[in-house]
Chains A and B, each alone.
Chain A
Amino acid sequence: MTDSPVLLRIENLTTVFGGLKALSEVSLEINPGQAIGLVGPNGSGKTTLVNTVCGLYRPASGRVILEGTDITGHRPHSIARAGINRTFQIPKPFKDLSVYENVKVSSIHSRNPAPIEEVLARVNLREFANHPISELTASQQKRLDLARALALEPKIIFVDELAAGLTPGELHEVAEMLKQFQAFGIAMIVVEHLMGFLEQVVASVLVLSAGRTIFTGALRNALADEEVKRVFLGGESDAGN
């Protein structure tokens, strides 16, 4: 950790579905401009953590503190306006809106909205502004998802499996974009399976298994950690996603 003030602090966050503890006392701190990888096998609780922090799920216990303000259990739109934004594993753009409108609608509640063309340019979609969503490739839809997150002038973005299904060229392009966003001071929590991609954008990781934290620290150390290796290579019982 650096000496800069903590941007987001997650304290002992627990999420329960019925009798299933999908997330168990997970804690995390992130500073402005920092990027942390969030890894774990399928069902380890990565997306549950993202959904809980973003207000889509209500936590059973624990706290989410953004810049010193407790936002635990706030509604999703309030959390988004406060500065926490996200992308989705499977992008779901507003299909009846154009590319431009998709970004425009996200910028409406930004305190300091950037011009839409500028936001689109940051994800290399400027020339598609007036296109319908149906004309975008999967990779372009993922970048549009990023543009929508950016349009709200976020302090932190949860990037949920952005790399899945991208070609090596597209992966490199997206990794460069994420590094650029960090340079602008945006913190990022990158949920990812592809270690090669993760190495390009984060230095440290938090590893989840069955909803629990099993490792936090440098990515290179995680790859050498015995428990991490056992979970990834030896299999485990899943606890919901």
Chain B
Amino acid sequence: MLFEYAIVGGVLLGIFYALLSVGLNVVFGAQKIINLAHGDIIMLGGYAAWELYQTYKISPIISTIIVVPITVVLGYILNRLIAPRLAKASDPEMLSLILFFGLSEVIEALSSLVFGNAERSLPVSSIPTAPLKLFGQAYPADWWVSALVAIPLLAIFLLFLYRSSVGLQVRAVISDSVEAAVAGINARRVSGLYFGIGFALAACAGVWGVFIFGGVSPTEGPAITVTAFAIIVFGSLGNPIGTLVAGIIFGIFYQLAQVYIPSWSNLVPYALVIATMLTRPQGLFGRRQRVA
């Protein structure tokens, strides 16, 4: 019984973790950088949901929609500010790590000032539904509703990437930005948009993170970034589909650990990174030489 609970719960949470991580992989694809502020963008999504519910009684489902355009624009502007500087840098990877580490610290400090250091949470009653009963077990409403919200979001993202004209241009820019520019694609604009979409996916995950993590606090960012990083490395850097599968596998492993060895469960992300690096450094869906 416990095993079934861990598997079903793991799949539900895994879909959420896929949403939580895919934005980090998107930003990597757009700019070939690891966004160390990823967890902080998720945290901001959480605060947005909290504020919108506390002040206007707006449901988290609606908040998920509201945060998308705001974070796409914010991500796009940030990309346009940093991309030219990174392009001119002698060591763009190192500069980007420093830059996003700094951004993470700034977001954390500002969040503390604005929202205080105490953890903020939302009542489960803000989601108008009941626990899901399956195979004789009850799964919390936030688990399955977050999965239910994440599925169409991820589906729309994949349709955009693999079925739209802009998505085709995004994939060309990810493959080779110089060749893409010669093909008439405004590579800066396209990668800026994709970067913004990465931020939006993170913020959407943040809305539901308030429930899954039990609340939102200014210091939660780095730990979330580590989890998301573990998942995208496991699934393969630059491959969004890999992230989706890796997120679900991570969710199952995490739930199994929670059920059988709860005190060790927080080690799952680190164990996943180490195991991936030792056995399949290119990740589940990666080629030997990574092509983002």
Instruction: Type the 1/0 row for B165-198, where 1 means its CB is closer than 8 Å to any CB of A.
Output: 1001101101110111111111100000000000
Within the complex, the shortest CB–CB distance from A34 to chain B, in Å, comes to 22
Determine whether the beta carbon of A109 is less than 8 Å from that of B175: no
Question: B184 to chain A: which residues have CB within 8 Å?
Answer: 77, 80-81, 106, 108-110, 152
Question: B165 to chain A: which residues have CB within 8 Å?
Answer: 108
Question: B186 to chain A: which residues have CB within 8 Å?
Answer: 75, 77
- Choose the segment among A58-66, A91-99, A170-178 that binds chain B (4+ C-beta atoms closer than 8 Å): A91-99
For chain A, which range describes its interface: under 10, 10 to 19, 20 to 34, or 35 or more residues?
A: 20 to 34
Within the complex, the shortest CB–CB distance from A109 to chain B, in Å, comes to 4
Question: B169 to chain A: which residues have CB within 8 Å?
Answer: 105, 108
Chain B residue, CB-CB nearest to A134: B287
Interface of A is mostly: loop
Question: B178 to chain A: which residues have CB within 8 Å?
Answer: 56, 76
Chain A residue, CB-CB nearest to B291: A95
Determine whether the beta carbon of B182 is less than 8 Å from that of A76: yes
Question: B172 to chain A: which residues have CB within 8 Å?
Answer: 94, 97, 105
B residues contacting the other copy or chain, number (CB 8 A): 19
Determine whether the beta carbon of A94 is less than 8 Å from that of B182: no
Residue A86 is within 8 A (CB to CB) of chain B in the complex: yes
Q: Which of B146-170 contact A (CB under 8 A)?
A: 165, 168-169
Task: Name the one of B175, B181, B187 contacting A94, with C-beta atoms under 8 angstroms.
Answer: B175
User: Within the assembled complex, what's the spacing in Å between the Cα atoms of A109 and B186?
Assistant: 10
Determine whether the beta carbon of A76 is less than 8 Å from that of B181: yes
Determine whether the beta carbon of A97 is less than 8 Å from that of B168: yes
Question: A142 to chain B: which residues have CB within 8 Å?
Answer: none
Determine whether the beta carbon of B168 is less than 8 Å from that of A104: yes
Determine whether the beta carbon of B182 is less than 8 Å from that of A85: yes
Question: B185 to chain A: which residues have CB within 8 Å?
Answer: 77, 105, 108-109
Q: CB within 8 Å of A: which residues of B?
A: 165, 168-169, 171-172, 174-176, 178-187, 291
Q: CB within 8 Å of B: which residues of A?
A: 54-56, 75-77, 80-81, 85-86, 88, 92-97, 101, 104-106, 108-110, 148, 151-152
9 CB contacts below 8 A, A to B, read: A56-B178, A75-B186, A94-B172, A96-B291, A105-B169, A105-B180, A105-B183, A108-B168, A110-B184
